[in-house]
Structure 1
Amino acid sequence: MLEQFALYNTQLVITGDINLHLEDPTLPATVQFQAMIEQFGLTQHVAESTHRSDGWLDVILTRDDCSLVDLCIHPPTISDHGLVVATIPFLHDAPSYLARQIRGWRNLDRDAFRSALLEVPAIADPSILADFSVADIFATYETTMGDLINKFLPLRPARIRRSALSPWFDMECRTLRRQARRLERLYRRTRLPVDRSTWVHFVRDMHRRYRDKERSYWEAKITSNAKDSKRLWATFDAILGRRRADPQCDAPSFSADDFLASFKKKIADIRQDTAHSTPPVFHPTDCKLSTMNAVTSSELRCIILTSPPKSCELDPIPTFLLQEFVDDLLPFLNALCNRSIQDGVLPLSQKRSILVPVLKRSGLDSTDPLNFRPIANVSFMSKIIEKIAAYQLTVYLETNKLLPECQSGFRRGHSTETLLLHLLSDIYGAVDSSQLTLLALFDVSAAFDTVDHEILLKRLEISFGLSGNFLSWVGSFLSERSLCVVHGPSRSAWVPAPYGLPQGSVLGPLLYIIYTSEIGPLLSATSVLGHLYADDIQAYLHCPASNATSAVLAISKTLDVLETWMSTNRLRLNPSKTQFIWFGTRQQLAKLDLSAIAADFPHFIFSPVVRDLGVTLDQELTFAPHIHRLCRDSYYQLRQLRTVIRSLTSESTATLIHAFITARLDYCSSLYAGLPVGRLRCLDRVLRTAARLSGRIPKFGHVSRYMLDVLHWLPLQQRISYRIISLVWRSLLGLAPAYLRDLCHTTMEIPGRRSLRSTEQGLLLVPFAHTAIMQNRAFSVVGPSLWNGISLALRLFPRIVSNSFYAHLKTFLFGRTGIGSAPE
């Protein structure tokens, strides 16, 4: 019943006597009931006795986003149950209007604009720029583009209504509506049956054309944005008519100046706290990189066209328009980029950032500026030159193996899933040895915003071998930066930005990885295992329960060493986000003497559940809290999608379901390997519900065959196997992180088995496991086991980068479903 109601996008209220004693949360029936309503995104509001015998038997269940008002429980009178009364609010946003300055890009005369563009001397003949400085070339670009845009599309005022309008309702629809009203007025005047018949038939045909136009409009929008998750989310919100937060219209609780003051104070406090630290020590390298190579026209064209069409007010021309006229502008843009590379200079106009405060996550206090992340908007051409530099620098770093192996953030082939897969494989290995694992999660406070430019440049020069033109360009990129904050209708003044890396730039993430590259070796020096994902640091070690105090002491020393390094490099850990958790079996965890540990380390607070890189981990790694949250969020999205299903084609519906449901279920799904079937059943129900919605299948209709033959969806268990085998394949190709490649060894690598015929079958070595949890859940065992279970043709597939392997693997797994194979 709840599975069906979960799709209804109406306010759901369930009341009555459920005959469960909810006042005792330890009862198995109560635990099961709470887990069930959590999966479906429901909240139980009654938290007092409703029975004459003091039991919590009567409930009011609503969705999570519903807040009851005036909840009152009356004492029992004629019945042994009390009367529960509450008010359920129903809100409706009134339409609002916004005055803006717009240009109306659809009205641009493309041919006239191209002709005017080609008449500009610098664009027609870029050779005249030979004597120009970099700043002059960029100024020419900005002035020329700005003047042309103002000439062809000057700004004009417009009054925009912010409400749930239908963007597909165009002039043709308005003409049809006027005609329908004209026929209606004619019938009202004549009252003739023939006029009524004409009016009714026209209205029916009008609505059919409305539906066709609506479906074709949304299908085009969804298809064009299928690979852009952010734009797909915006399209989904538009289909639902959901009001999108608009900083220009919604009055924020603080101004841009307030945010800027908070932002500067936070950085100043960290700088002051670390001012008296010892200077950092740099470890030299023999590798050298001194020259940034010029970019060719074809390379630059590819970079521009494959870049997201994002723009901000710093761009003199919208990115989509620049991409449209890229062939006309390419010689000029090539000269512009290469001059910046050749001179090792980025002009001041390209070193400005507009900070836009974005709430870090929903549910945080929106009145506190510290709960907002400063996202920097930089100019498009700055991003293009940064991409050129980032690509060449990445090739150099990877060729010389200078990047830390334990860093998985912002690196090709690395992801949160690969990091967590290796982390859990280590934890299962400890369980297999009857040991516990202590995990510490650290977060760097304002990490990108407090990077010291001088330290970064010295580290690039000494520890990473940068010099000459390349180092000069990076130095120019970092120096003399400025920023302003735009929040709502307010705007701050431009101020210098002497520290930090802009969050929104292309080169910033790579420079941050370089800046913190010493953290991995630092953790290894303290005999602690570790992983990093951008500014998230994870340190862990294994120990028997009897040595738990020693393990906490080791983590405490690691924390001290880490804080010292942070202070030396003008960074600071965020103590409010530091978390500690023990992992192990129920029997091993029961041996922990937490009271003794608390007495020795009172500042260590151990959590039963932590959220690590988007995955909720509990102490016994049952994944029950994570799966409950995942089901609740998925049903919410399905419920939203069901309201607009009539406005979408089957293809559009499948695209949205893949983006918001199956992609959500597949995120880190390799971690579910070996979980009990009963625990995964609720995820399988979500998958089947999504398929039922996609195919408009009735409540009691069969959905399994539709999932296989039409949607080509693998069942949940096969999806998990597909994910793991794909990671093994990438490891064998050398595309996966080194820490996963080290867990996949072919039998040919074993000296004593090289001459055996079994080495010609592409088999992997499966490590011995003492326990079922290691055998069924650790990637080091499950990965090779699943690989050895696929067909010989797949195991001997040519070791080349190709999508053909994944297609053949999916066909093979379809054959194992027991229902039959699905066509490709």
Structure 2
Amino acid sequence: MKPSGSLEDSLPPILLRDILPAVAPAVLDIVNSSFSSGVFPAAFKIAVVQPLLKKPGLDQSDCANYRPISKLPLIPKVVEKLALTQLTSHLDDNGLLDPFQSGFRCNYSTESAHIRVLNDILILTDSGSHVLLLLLDLTAAFDTVDHTILLHRLEFWVGVTGTALEWFKSYLNGRCFSVLVGDCSSPNVPLLWGVPQDSILGPLLFSIYILPLGKILASLGVNYHFYADDCPIYLQINQHHSFSMMSECLSQVRSWLSQNCLRLNDSKSDAIHFSPTKMKGALDVSTLPLNLKSCATSLGVKLDSDLSMSSQVNATVKSCFFQLRRITRLKSILKRPDLESVIHAFITSGLDYANSVLIGINASALSKLQKVQNAAARFLTNSDRRMHITPILADLHWLPVKFRINFKVLLYVYKALYCPSPSYLTDLLTPYVPTCALRSADHLLLVVLKVRYKSRGERAFSYAAPKLWNSLPLRVHLAPSVSSFKSALKTYFFSIAFPRDTFQDNLAPDLSF
């Protein structure tokens, strides 16, 4: 847990961490007393809120231009962390969370959510269906949670009872906050609604709060996904039912939100229409009562209506080159290993963010991303632009962008097969079982779906991932752990990207990339 706290802390968090061995017994007594009595100490319920300007240059006299940053003391977060561990274990052991909730869960991520959502959309459009994606935005969702309803969810939806339920009741009730601007602080004000901002438990409690919404969407037969309060909903549409399913879906969602003290932000809720490859414009969606866009952002990834991912690629390239220009100022003061670490932190991380959804993109888009990596490599090694890039990347042990994308996809496959993983990903992978005894039965192969179009179906995870997996040598399949799989996979990809007979023997790959 990161040592972050608030002005209510008697000691700075970093100092508290340094003296933790001396104060650990007292902290343990606080934790045990809180859990056994079912009481969360009142001194731990005070938050300090600091308004920060959302962007430089905005009008400082307009309150709407500020983002309230809430800070809680450190010791309460230790108590919360232990409570979170026990609650998460209870939820996971009993399968109580929504299977399509990816927010703040171990082994789940925005990327795993994107893989499933984009897979479904690609498969549907490949089969000739139109798809409408609704990106619903809730207004101040965490701040409007009703405590009575949340406690009801805890008791009757996930089975938290007795002293544990009393502890959560004490945790939620009696909270207050003050606002700090410069050196001026307001009096404490009661906080009667919402899950505590800056808390450890807040995101998970919100996931429990919206459990019924997933049941409603599933009963309507529409596809959905949650990441905390972000909710992409996607469904097949056609001209014959005049979007009646979508209208019914939105109506029921609005009704449930209203009954549970939540509100849809219409101005920030977007929709995007995906057409089958050869049927663009065949369906008129201009009459939809939504903010229809040709490109929309979902969990940090830009989706185009033609599913080309060109907007995401262009945004990544622009951001990475901006960071690279900033890094050039550091070259004179940093040693090469430190400079390489900075490049990985700001450039490589940008290229790798959710890059598994870029599997199968066209060569032109891939070339744009590769130019970013090439520029970073030449900058780091002081190489002339006329020099061939392949030896430079090989010497740095950097896998080219295409291989990095394939690497990420295969890592998800390995984890889905051998590690705890989201069920919505494991459901997309089916082991191949031959009808008769064959030597291939020992090769741990996966079934490859039949699809129609290269630009759609062949880019879906359920097609591309098994095809990539089946192309790997058996020794890579049999890696006994994630770390050994990553090592074996990089070695294999390195041998393909940089054939050994092309370079010196001392260019064997390492694990840094």
The bucket for the TM-score relative to the shorter chain is: over 0.9
In 2, Cα distance between the equivalents of 1:822 and 1:369? Answer: 57
- Shift of residue 461, structure 1, vs aligned partner: 0.7
In 2, Cα distance between the equivalents of 1:716 and 1:345? Answer: 52
Structure 1 residue runs of 5 or longer lacking an equivalent are 1-306
Residue in 2 that maps onto 1:792: 474
In 2, Cα distance between the equivalents of 1:763 and 1:580? Answer: 38
| 1:674 equivalent in alignment to 2:360 | yes
Residue in 2 that maps onto 1:456: 150
- Shift of residue 463, structure 1, vs aligned partner: 1.1
Show CA shifts across 1:691-749 (max 9, x none). Answer: 11222323434443232223x2100110010010000011112422111110111114x
| 1:318 equivalent in alignment to 2:40 | no
Q: RMSD value over aligned CA atoms?
A: 1.9
- The answer to whether the Cα contact below 8 Å between 2:49 and 2:179 also exists between their aligned partners in 1 is yes
Residue in 2 that maps onto 1:264: none
The total of aligned residue pairs comes to 504
Residue in 2 that maps onto 1:261: none
Q: How does 1:807-822 map to 2 (within 5 A)?
A: 807-820=487-500, 822=508
- Shift of residue 667, structure 1, vs aligned partner: 0.6
- The answer to whether the Cα contact below 8 Å between 2:48 and 2:178 also exists between their aligned partners in 1 is yes
Show CA shifts across 1:411-467 (max 9, x none). Answer: 111111111111111111112211111111101111000011111011101111111
Residue range with higher mean Cα deviation, 771-780 or 678-687? 771-780
| 1:654 equivalent in alignment to 2:340 | yes
| 1:616 equivalent in alignment to 2:302 | yes
Query: Counterpart amino acid of 1:568?
Result: Q
In 2, Cα distance between the equivalents of 1:356 and 1:500? Answer: 18
Q: How does 1:551-700 map to 2 (within 5 A)?
A: 552-585=243-276, 587-595=278-286, 598=287, 601=288, 603-700=289-386
In 2, Cα distance between the equivalents of 1:373 and 1:561? Answer: 31
Compared with structure 1, are the counterparts of its residues 371 and 561 closer, same or farther at alpha carbon in structure 2 (3 Å cutoff)? farther
| 1:548 equivalent in alignment to 2:234 | no
- The answer to whether the Cα contact below 8 Å between 1:774 and 1:781 also exists between their aligned partners in 2 is no
In 2, Cα distance between the equivalents of 1:319 and 1:611? Answer: 36
Show CA shifts across 1:558-608 (max 9, x none). Answer: 11101111111111111111111101245322212245xx1xx4x234211
Show CA shifts across 1:12-64 (max 9, x none). Answer: xxxxxxxxxxxxxxxxxxxxxxxxxxxxxxxxxxxxxxxxxxxxxxxxxxxxx
TM-score (normalizing by structure 1): 0.59
- The answer to whether the Cα contact below 8 Å between 1:746 and 1:764 also exists between their aligned partners in 2 is yes
Residue in 2 that maps onto 1:486: 180
In 2, Cα distance between the equivalents of 1:531 and 1:653? Answer: 39
Which of 21, 27, 32 is matched with 1:338 structurally? 32
Residue in 2 that maps onto 1:441: 135
| 1:705 equivalent in alignment to 2:399 | no
SS where residue 451 of structure 1 aligns?
coil
Which of 740, 748, 764 is matched with 2:425 structurally? 740
Residue range with higher mean Cα deviation, 488-497 or 664-673? 488-497
Residue range with higher mean Cα deviation, 418-427 or 723-732? 418-427
Query: Counterpart amino acid of 2:84?
Result: A
Compared with structure 1, are the counterparts of its residues 330 and 445 closer, same or farther at alpha carbon in structure 2 (3 Å cutoff)? same
SS where residue 226 of structure 2 aligns?
strand
SS where residue 445 of structure 1 aligns?
coil
- Shift of residue 367, structure 1, vs aligned partner: 4.5
Residue in 2 that maps onto 1:507: 201
Compared with structure 1, are the counterparts of its residues 551 and 331 closer, same or farther at alpha carbon in structure 2 (3 Å cutoff)? farther
- Shift of residue 613, structure 1, vs aligned partner: 1.0
Residue in 1 that maps onto 2:414: 729
Which of 18, 22, 30 is matched with 1:328 structurally? 22
- The answer to whether the Cα contact below 8 Å between 2:53 and 2:60 also exists between their aligned partners in 1 is yes
Which of 530, 539, 561 is matched with 2:224 structurally? 530
Higher relative contact order (CA 8 A, sep 6+): 2
Query: Counterpart amino acid of 2:373?
Result: L
Which of 92, 116, 123 is matched with 1:422 structurally? 116
- The answer to whether the Cα contact below 8 Å between 1:440 and 1:540 also exists between their aligned partners in 2 is yes
In 2, Cα distance between the equivalents of 1:700 and 1:538? Answer: 46
Compared with structure 1, are the counterparts of its residues 359 and 402 closer, same or farther at alpha carbon in structure 2 (3 Å cutoff)? farther
SS where residue 241 of structure 2 aligns?
helix
- Shift of residue 637, structure 1, vs aligned partner: 0.7
Structure 2 residue runs of 5 or longer lacking an equivalent are 501-506
In 1, Cα distance between the equivalents of 2:44 and 2:494? Answer: 52
- The answer to whether the Cα contact below 8 Å between 1:707 and 1:714 also exists between their aligned partners in 2 is yes
Which of 53, 56, 66 is matched with 1:372 structurally? 66
Residue in 1 that maps onto 2:81: 387
Compared with structure 1, are the counterparts of its residues 366 and 677 closer, same or farther at alpha carbon in structure 2 (3 Å cutoff)? farther
Q: How does 1:22-41 map to 2 (within 5 A)?
A: none
In 1, Cα distance between the equivalents of 2:476 and 2:307? Answer: 32
- The answer to whether the Cα contact below 8 Å between 1:761 and 1:796 also exists between their aligned partners in 2 is no
Residue range with higher mean Cα deviation, 384-393 or 352-361? 352-361
In 2, Cα distance between the equivalents of 1:776 and 1:361? Answer: 41
| 1:470 equivalent in alignment to 2:164 | yes
Residue in 2 that maps onto 1:141: none
Show CA shifts across 1:646-678 (max 9, x none). Answer: 101111111111111110111111111111111
- Shift of residue 753, structure 1, vs aligned partner: 3.3
- The answer to whether the Cα contact below 8 Å between 2:126 and 2:277 also exists between their aligned partners in 1 is no
Q: How does 1:735-774 map to 2 (within 5 A)?
A: 735-748=420-433, 753=435, 755-774=437-456
- Shift of residue 309, structure 1, vs aligned partner: 2.2
Residue in 1 that maps onto 2:504: none
SS where residue 770 of structure 1 aligns?
coil
SS where residue 398 of structure 1 aligns?
helix
Compared with structure 1, are the counterparts of its residues 367 and 379 closer, same or farther at alpha carbon in structure 2 (3 Å cutoff)? same
In 2, Cα distance between the equivalents of 1:696 and 1:548? Answer: 58
Show CA shifts across 1:765-815 (max 9, x none). Answer: 1111122234431000000110111111111233x4x41111111111111
Residue in 2 that maps onto 1:93: none
SS where residue 211 of structure 2 aligns?
coil
In 2, Cα distance between the equivalents of 1:370 and 1:554? Answer: 36
Show CA shifts across 1:619-645 (max 9, x none). Answer: 101122221221111111111110121
- The answer to whether the Cα contact below 8 Å between 1:436 and 1:589 also exists between their aligned partners in 2 is no
Q: How does 1:341-352 map to 2 (within 5 A)?
A: 341-352=35-46
Query: Counterpart amino acid of 1:621?
Result: L
- Shift of residue 758, structure 1, vs aligned partner: 2.1
Which of 483, 504, 507 is matched with 1:803 structurally? 483
- The answer to whether the Cα contact below 8 Å between 1:523 and 1:529 also exists between their aligned partners in 2 is yes
In 2, Cα distance between the equivalents of 1:660 and 1:513? Answer: 31
- The answer to whether the Cα contact below 8 Å between 1:438 and 1:551 also exists between their aligned partners in 2 is no
- Shift of residue 754, structure 1, vs aligned partner: 7.2
- The answer to whether the Cα contact below 8 Å between 1:747 and 1:754 also exists between their aligned partners in 2 is no
- Shift of residue 755, structure 1, vs aligned partner: 4.4
- The answer to whether the Cα contact below 8 Å between 1:734 and 1:741 also exists between their aligned partners in 2 is no
Residue in 2 that maps onto 1:178: none
In 2, Cα distance between the equivalents of 1:618 and 1:634? Answer: 20
- Shift of residue 612, structure 1, vs aligned partner: 1.1
Residue in 2 that maps onto 1:406: 100
SS where residue 587 of structure 1 aligns?
coil
Query: Counterpart amino acid of 2:471?
Result: G
Query: Counterpart amino acid of 1:481?
Result: R
Structure with higher Rg: it is 1
SS where residue 393 of structure 1 aligns?
helix
In 2, Cα distance between the equivalents of 1:503 and 1:715? Answer: 41
TM-score (normalizing by structure 2): 0.94
